[in-house]
Structure formats: C-alpha cells, structure tokens
Amino acid sequence: MAERTTVLFITNAELSQASVNLAAAAALATDEDFDVHIASFEGLSPLTPAGVTFHALDGKSFKDIVQEKGFEFLPRHAPGVAGAIKSYKDTLPLLMAPWDSDDYFVIYDSCVSIIKELKPAVVALDFLFGPGADAVNTLKQRHVFMSPGVYKDHAVHMQPRLQFAWKYPVVSSGFRVPLALSEILPNIYLIYNLIKISYFMPRVTDFIKARNDRGIPGNLSTKYNMFDFNLLYLTQGRPQTDFALDFIPDNLIGCGPILPPFEPLEKADPELAKWLVRRPTVIINMGSHVTYKGNQIGEVLSTIQEIVNRHPNIQILWKCPKPSKEEEQPTVDKDLFGDRIRILSWLPSTPVACLTASKSILAYVHHGGSNSFHEAIGAGVPQVVCPVWIDTYDFARRVEMIGVGVRGNDNAAPYVKSDEFVTALERVVGNSAEADKFRETAKRISEQVGWVDSGRKIAAQHIKEVALEA
C-alpha cells in the first residue's frame, strides 16, 4: 500500500474559528490516500471527525484566557464611531494578543513539536491562530490558511483608488455599503484609530518584542498585515454573498459555506424533527458566546409571543442558553400557545441540521457570526441578524444587501428591543411580497453556492492539491 499523505490542521478550539477546519478535515478524511490530523486544545477533541487523529495542544485556549480576564467572551459594543473605537480598545488587543508571552510560547512550542513529529505535506492553519502561524513560519512549513471569513475580511485594503476609505465600512462601524457621504470622514477616522491601536498599543508592542526576543521574526499575524500572495486563503466567500469588490487576488479562494457534515435531525432527535415539520418555523439561535442579560430574555420572549399571536400557523424554536444568575429561565403559557413555542438550552444537533430538517423554516435569527450567516445561506433560509460586535455588523449589512433578510436591532444594538425586533421579524415571516422575495432569493443563492455540503469539499480539494505539490 502506498504511503499516505499527511495533512495537519492547526486551529483555535472555539467553533467560530474551528468549524471550517473541522469541515475541511472531515471531507479530506474520506480520501484514503490522506492521513488527516487536527491539533487544537482539548475542548475541541469530542468534535474530531471520523478518520481524523486529534492532538491536544499544551497551554490555555482563547476562551480560557478570556474568562480569566473576566469576560464571558468578546465584549459587546454598539455600532458607530464611539462603539467601534471601544471595540478597538477592548476587543482587538484580545484577538491579536490574548496570551501573555509565557502562555503563548507554551502553545508555540507545542505546535512546533507536533509539526516536527508528523512532518505534514501541508498545514491547514486557522488564520487567527498566532502560535500556529509563528510555528509554520519559523519551520518554513508549507501551509494554507483556513478562514471562516469572506473576501472583504482579507482584501478590502487592496481595493483600487483607496476604496477602503471612502466606499467600504471599516470593521465594527456598522456603516452602509457603499458608505454614505456623511460616513466617509468618520470611516477614515476609525481606520486611523484601528491602525494606531492595532499596531501601537503597549500590550501589542510589548508582545511583539517578546516574540522577537525569542527568535520569532516579524509582526503579529492580523487581517491587515499578513496577506501573502504566495499562499492560499480558503474562505467562505462567494460573489453572491459578499460586498462587490473590484479586486480579489487569485489566491483568495471562495469556497462557499464550509460546514461540517451532520447527522440528519430525524436521526439525532426524531421527536424534534417531527415537531419542526408540523408548521412553518422560526429558529432563534444567537450562538454559543452570546448571553442574555438584564431585560434581554424578556425582550426576546415578548417578541416571540407577539409573532405567534399574529400568526397562528407559525411556531418558534428558541435556543436560550442557561441564563445568568439574575435571570430566570424563560417559560411560556401552554394554555395560550400550546406547543408552538419551544425553548431549549442547547440544540441536539448542529444548527444546520435543524435548518434543513424542514422545507418550511421561515427564518433563522442569529447574532451575525460568519458561520451562522453561512449556515442559513447554505440551507436557503431567510435571516434576521441582531449584531453584537466586530464583524457581525458587516454580516447584518450583507443580509440586507443580498436580499435574504433584515437586521433586527437597528436602534438597540448590541441588544434587542421587542418593538423593532417584532417589526423586523414580521418583514421576513409575514404574508407579504417582501417576505416571499426573501425566501425566493435565499433559495436561489443556496443553489448557486452549492447548498450545505459543497464548500468543505472544495476546500479539501484545494488542500489536496497543495499537499501533492510537496
């Protein structure tokens, strides 16, 4: 038997980054000619796809570090100038340099050790995982980048005629595309602050120096300074689902939704699958990192009850994680609503398994994470996006721009208020020409991007080709 070709995926453990790596690894592992491995933190181990070998990295995961600093995950922020600057001060340093130098070097050394042990033909690397990036660069290891993002995330600064300044909104701003005339100067001001904080904040400069002193050359890997025209970047972007760009580098590959394979819901949870096909359904899932605080549970619950009251034929599934200490678990009056509202603390399968379990899923309500956006795109389901931080504001704009849904918290972001949330949902689930158009457009785009299972196969094929060049 011929020797198998080894491919190693190195990724953060948080699904926001790891999901595309798990998906591509699963697709690659179906080819018996490839020996597929994943290196990440232990928390990701249970999600290792069949046929893939998991290697636990030493050290603390991003989530561990964030919780040590007293955050639940990323700090929320409002859109606009003040909110964006707050995100640059509070969140970007956390994303760029979450670990102190000692913790970082533990992970870096672990990555180096695993690469030396496996001698992979290629490493598929989470593009936000700094220790992995430093390891492959130090070892001169052939690699490709895996990104849950889209074209704009990696190429906006390459657009001709300085379009990044006057046409496209800077991250966290929530500005329109193209920018309104009144937004251009604020956008330029935010770009200045983004660069100043990203490159010159003491925490970041001190960390860069510690790396350099250790013998690791160069700057930190960020979206803005790491693009290498000699390497492949595998993203979830497609022209149908992103802002129109005049220039996309040939090595920036849009695979469409890169989603892990999933067990059909009728096998994972037959009872829930039967419930989903009873009536047209709205699914609300704000992701694993968004918690409900203060009056937020009440605002969402009021919205749900109002929509169900207005539409006797509609039912709603709400994934509501266990509330914070000051909140009670939400309940509904069975006498009023029967079994038309279900509130679960967790989904028994992947979100996309629920989205594809019925042909009458009316809407997917989510926080605007890239994976949530692409799950709905793949499944052909209209979206209501309630953005909370950083790039989620861009995804809310994308949903509006491509015609597959609306934003649910224009005025209340990064939170929700029932009155505008109801209005937004009504536009998507109501009996109107606009709602019909959302459904038609969502289904058409889903067909164009290859539904829920082609993206991971496209990514795997590109990785194969690079591996076989070694």
pLDDT 10s digits, 95-122 = 878 899 999 999 999 999 999 999 999 9
For the cut 80, the answer to whether the pLDDT of residue 16 exceeds it is yes
pTM of the model: 0.95
For the cut 70, the answer to whether the pLDDT of residue 324 exceeds it is no
CB atoms closer than 10 angstroms to residue 230: 5
Rounded to whole angstroms, what are the CA distances from 438 to 228, 339, 425?
A: 37, 27, 12
Mean pLDDT of 428-449: 97
State how far the Cα of 128 lies from the Cα of 96, in Å rounded to an integer: 8
pLDDT digits (tens, 9 = 90+) for 227-257: 889 999 999 999 999 999 999 999 999 999 9
Exposure of 238 in the CB half-sphere (CA atoms within 13 A): 22
Nearest CA to 135 among 117, 108, 114? 108
Q: How confident is the model at residue 223 (pLDDT cuts 50, 70, 90)?
A: very low
Domain 5-74+99-164+202-259+453-469 falls under CATH 3.40.50.2000:
yes
Same fold flag, 5-74+99-164+202-259+453-469 and 265-449: yes
For the chain, what are the domain ranges? 5-74+99-164+202-259+453-469, 265-449
Q: Tell me the percentage of the chain whose pLDDT exceeds 70.
A: 96
For the cut 60, the answer to whether the pLDDT of residue 222 exceeds it is no
State how far the Cα of 387 lies from the Cα of 400, in Å rounded to an integer: 13
Domain 265-449 falls under CATH 3.40.50.2000:
yes
